[in-house]
Structure 1
Amino acid sequence: MDQAHARAVRRRLNTVTIVVTFGALAFGYDTGVISGALPFMTLPTDAGGLDLTPTTEGLVTSSLLLGAAFGAIIGGRLSDRYGRRHNVLMLAFVFFVGALGCALAPTVPVMVGCRMVLGFAVGGASATVPMFIGELAPASRRGQLVSRNELMIVTGQLIAYTSNAVIGFVAEGAHAWRIMLGLATVPAVALWVGVLLVPESPRWLVSQGRRDEALEVLRQLRVEDPAPEVAEISEVVEKTARLQRNSWQHLTVPWIRRITLIGVGFGVVIQLTGVNSIMYFAPTVLMSTGMGTQASLVATIANGVVSVVAVATGIAVIGRSSRRTMLRIGMVGLVMSQVFLGLASLLPEAPWRGYIILALMLCFLWFMQMFCAICFWLMMAEIFPLRVRGVAMGIAVFCQWISNAVVTLCFPILLDAIGMRTFFIFAAVNFVILLWEQRYLPETRGKSLEYLEEELASGADGRAVGPGAVG
């Protein structure tokens, strides 16, 4: 009976995680699909496109990210007020409306507006989905289940790249981009239907004084008696509310202000690496080297495959490696990859040139997704002190999306102006980022959140591995 109950609980947890991470899948699809749509959207209007220029390409692509910046801030507040489940249902509807609007957009201004609406859902999902999973999962499986969020994002991007390639072959060129963007409605519908069957977060229920409902939810998702966990959640909720009551005043404390600024800076520099110049514009980059439209769409599938495998590998490795070491390896790999991408501009024009550039892009993505992206999301959840965590995370995520938008807006303009030499700029920026990370970022491996907070409050730089590290 106990084993049957344990199996049933595991099945329910897995089902809930899959359903909720449809939000991450939609996030990934919507950020990845634009890469294949852009080559068709640059066609003249009488050929079915939107006659995009390098500037409007950047504007259309970055408008989603601008919407995401506000979606992350507002979405987090809505989930606190109305509940995680209710917020995800609302985001599913916004995903659907935004995707449908993009697919039907007749002009560039309408497309930009619809992309901002879609971006609001993407940003809301980035703030709500990991938190929702973390609050539904037991402590023993939390890291494993929450990490599936990042895996579903890159899986969504892989699906987008693959469907783009198929649609590019079988659909009429004039309408291919509309079909690509319209398919984003499918994960939105799946998310909305699925979340109707998912329970509300027990932590949110406790914060609203609904302890009996929280206990009932946890009985479905726990093998052991959930009563002690509900008591612990109640204690944590009360402590968090007490500590965060004057969050802005706490930022006047020097060590808290310092680590908050470091965390916000980390959110900015992770986008300055140029990762999304590859994720959003891979076909455009490959076409600039002479590769055909269809060949570039197919080649971009490799980006998605490498990202999925790299994230899965990073999840397996990060528990045994220090964060600072992983970031150091990753950043060195990024700098070298981008230097070679820049040097590729000196190669003679030939059919094999595009494939060398593709291989270098894949090398860049491997280092980014396995080492840097994994560390970023994990460390952002670890480094902020509890008393300012809500405010600091909100600022950091907002700045991250704004930084992403700026890079995305500028990249096609730079690519048009100076070609592949744009990657020399990224390489120089990443070298500076490497020095900054190694100088300022604390190590979080082997440290409880409380230990790290005490260490930083003592004036230490926190760069040593903690006492709880194993291996």
Structure 2
Amino acid sequence: MNEQKKQKSFLLMIILVSTFGGLLFGYDTGVINGALPYMSESDQLNLNAFTQGLVASSLLFGAALGALVGGRLSDQIGRRKNILNLAVLFFVAALGCTFAPNMTIMVIFRFLLGLAVGGASVTVPTFLAEMSPVERRGRMVTQNELMIVTGQLLAFLFNAIIGNTMTDSSHVWRYMLVIAALPAIFLFFGMLRVPESPRFLVAKGKKAEALAVLEKIRDKKQAAKELKEIEEAIEKESSIKKATFKDLSVPWVRRILFIGIGIAVVQQITGINSIMYYGTEILKDAGFETEVALIGNIANGAISVIAVLIGIWLLGKIGRRPMLLTGLIGTTTSLLLIAIFSFTLDGTKALPFVVLGLTVIFLAFMQSCIGTVTWLVLAEIFPSRLRGLGMGLSVFFLWITNSIIGLTFPSLLSTIGLSATFFIFVALGIWGIFFIYKYMPETKGRSLEELEHYFRNYKEDKKQEDITVGAFK
């Protein structure tokens, strides 16, 4: 019994330490929300609408590149070593942003921070999936999503505390940014105690080391069984010819990549990150003072954490497609109401409270129904031979779309205003609903082989058939 407790405690330690990569992901993407208004007023940075977008989006362009190379790097040097390197990069880049003397240096270090965020977005979930027992894999991997939104909540909370207690300081934004260095220290020293993934060790021919790791987190019988399963899986994968760009000439391969990239893009065009990065600016534009807007953002962070917990529970109860459609209808409706009320209630004292309430509703739909489902569907939809190419391209397009929105949103807000900007997101949301309804198949309860068979046999001209309900031949 003591041995089982030790194994469970060690596994919990692995989860806690490694998901600090997700916490850093969340904090570094969320902290800009509160820091940006003070950066704009800083004599050293003196940001305008365009350079605000550049500072926010430089991290996202870095994340796109980090996600693209992060998986390959962890395959070469190991998941553990890659996360250790990412912790160092998180720390150095956070300090670089904190002490940036001008906008150029800020953008450079934000880009480096993005490399760490992108690398963590692919490496940490992979590491968790490979360390977790089969029966707990779904729950363990989704812990990373929970830590991401927890990181964003902490960013909003510290932004509000610092922004309301240090109003006389010209370095308010620097205090907000430097906090990100602390979890990076914890991640680095914590990972020194964490073993390498057994799957990576087997892939490198270190079977004895892999078994020793498994015996620390499983009982001996289960460890031996799992080691054999890992060996068989790696042998099977080595015989599978991986898809390359040449395979895009095959219609069913093009179709599944089209759907994967489309799902990734749809998640971003909801406007989620315009609220996560520029929530303070949105609430200021609606009528709140900066300090009050920072406090209001705490509600956005809190609802995100609660909604992710609800979403994790819903995954076992409802299909992926209905969850996505429900989420998109909810987010699009919320944005439509923000756009309408921003126009009709312009200048009234009620407007900022209405906007805050609607952003909370927006995030409830987004994080419970869209955020939790998107990454899961992308993991499920691609057959083994397509997974590397499919996930790589989908995540790349997700970050690029995120980057474009992050770059253009402040300029749109300053030129056409809050109402017109959100009407654009409403139009994009309607397109997203149409895309998911028409193209996305239901993946819940289907094996990878069944999905591959489905895509191979789908007939484009059979329009009357609902593509999500057993279109097998």
1:434 aligned to 2:430?
Answer: no
**Structure 1 counterpart of 2:234:** 237
Deviation at 1:465, TM superposition (A): 6.9
**Structure 1 counterpart of 2:405:** 407
**Structure 1 counterpart of 2:380:** 382
Deviation at 1:245, TM superposition (A): 4.1
Deviation at 1:350, TM superposition (A): 2.9
Residues 189-233 of structure 1: CA deviation (Å, up to 9, x unaligned): 110010001010011111111111111110011135212211111
Report if the CA contact (8 A) 1:70-1:120 is conserved: yes
Residues 182-197 of structure 1 aligned to structure 2 (within 5 Å): 182-197=178-193
**Structure 2 counterpart of 1:456:** 455
Between stretches 253-262 and 118-127, larger displacement belongs to 253-262
Deviation at 1:111, TM superposition (A): 0.5
Residues 410-438 of structure 1: CA deviation (Å, up to 9, x unaligned): 11111111212211110111001100111
1:60 aligned to 2:55?
Answer: yes
CA distance in 2, matches of 1:173, 1:259: 53
CA distance in 1, matches of 2:247, 2:199: 24
Quickly say closer, same or farther: Cα 1:406–1:18, change in 2 above 3 A. same
Deviation at 1:37, TM superposition (A): 0.2
Report if the CA contact (8 A) 1:40-1:173 is conserved: no
Of residues 5, 8, 15, the one that matches 1:17 is 15
**Structure 2 counterpart of 1:396:** 394
Q: Structure 1: which amino acid aligns with 2:435?
A: W
Residues 88-124 of structure 1: CA deviation (Å, up to 9, x unaligned): 0000000001100000001111100000000000000
Report if the CA contact (8 A) 1:68-1:119 is conserved: yes
CA distance in 1, matches of 2:423, 2:74: 42
Extract unaligned runs of 5+ from structure 1: none
Deviation at 1:7, TM superposition (A): 2.1
CA distance in 2, matches of 1:241, 1:57: 47
CA distance in 1, matches of 2:45, 2:406: 19
Of residues 115, 126, 132, the one that matches 1:131 is 126
Between stretches 268-277 and 292-301, larger displacement belongs to 268-277
Extract unaligned runs of 5+ from structure 2: 460-465
Residues 241-283 of structure 1: CA deviation (Å, up to 9, x unaligned): 3214454444433212211121012112211111000001011
Quickly say closer, same or farther: Cα 1:224–1:351, change in 2 above 3 A. farther
CA distance in 2, matches of 1:157, 1:259: 32
1:212 aligned to 2:208?
Answer: yes
Instruction: Give the superposed CA RMSD.
Output: 1.5
CA distance in 2, matches of 1:132, 1:353: 45
**Structure 2 counterpart of 1:259:** 256
Between stretches 231-240 and 84-93, larger displacement belongs to 231-240
TM-score by length of 1: 0.95
Report if the CA contact (8 A) 1:347-1:353 is conserved: yes
1:82 aligned to 2:81?
Answer: no
1:363 aligned to 2:361?
Answer: yes
1:107 aligned to 2:102?
Answer: yes
Report if the CA contact (8 A) 1:137-1:145 is conserved: yes
CA distance in 2, matches of 1:147, 1:333: 22
Aligned length: 462
CA distance in 2, matches of 1:130, 1:275: 21
Secondary structure in structure 2 of the residue aligned to 1:92: helix
Deviation at 1:405, TM superposition (A): 0.2
CA distance in 2, matches of 1:288, 1:246: 48
* Structure 1 residue runs of 4 or more that deviate by more than 6 Å after TM superposition: none
> Identity of counterpart residues, as a percentage?
47
Of residues 335, 338, 350, the one that matches 1:338 is 335
Residues 302-313 of structure 1 aligned to structure 2 (within 5 Å): 302-313=299-310
CA distance in 2, matches of 1:214, 1:371: 37
CA distance in 2, matches of 1:331, 1:71: 28
CA distance in 2, matches of 1:257, 1:240: 22
Of residues 88, 95, 100, the one that matches 1:93 is 88
CA distance in 1, matches of 2:323, 2:128: 25
Quickly say closer, same or farther: Cα 1:393–1:452, change in 2 above 3 A. same
Report if the CA contact (8 A) 2:22-2:144 is conserved: yes
